[in-house]
Amino acid sequence: MRTLHDKRYKLIIQRLKEARLAKGLNQLSVSKSLKRPQSFVSKVENGERRLDVIELFDLMKLYGVTWDQLASRL
């Protein structure tokens, strides 16, 4: 069975999760900051939901990471 997500996308999501954990944030605190349900964060991190550009930038801002950090060596 073919995957829905490119390996580069999966790597970006993995790096986002690592950035969240490095900030000491749990999924619930992130969801509250974004005014989204906790399941939003869970589904993104598990690859069940794809991020759009605005959502990606919101997470990057919250986690304090740049595109260069997420996309390096893709």
Model confidence over 19-72: pLDDT tens digits? 999 999 999 999 999 999 999 999 999 999 999 999 999 999 999 999 999 999
pLDDT at site 4: 61
* DSSP state, residue 36: S
Cβ 69 vs Cβ 26: under 8 Å: no
Residue 14 CB-half CA count within 13 A:
10
Q: Has residue 52 been placed in a domain?
A: yes
Residue 1 counted as domain residue? no
**What's the number of domains the chain is made of?**
1
Determine, yes or no, domain membership for 46: yes
- Is the model's pLDDT at 1 over the cut of 50? no
CATH number of the domain encompassing residue 47:
1.10.260.40
Q: State which residues form the domain around 35.
A: 7-71
Query: Quick check: is 2 in a domain?
Result: no
Question: Average pLDDT in the 4-27 region?
Answer: 93
Q: Answer yes or no: is pLDDT of 2 > 70.
A: no
Is residue 26 within 8 Å of 17, Cβ to Cβ?
A: no
Note whether residue 41 is domain-resident: yes
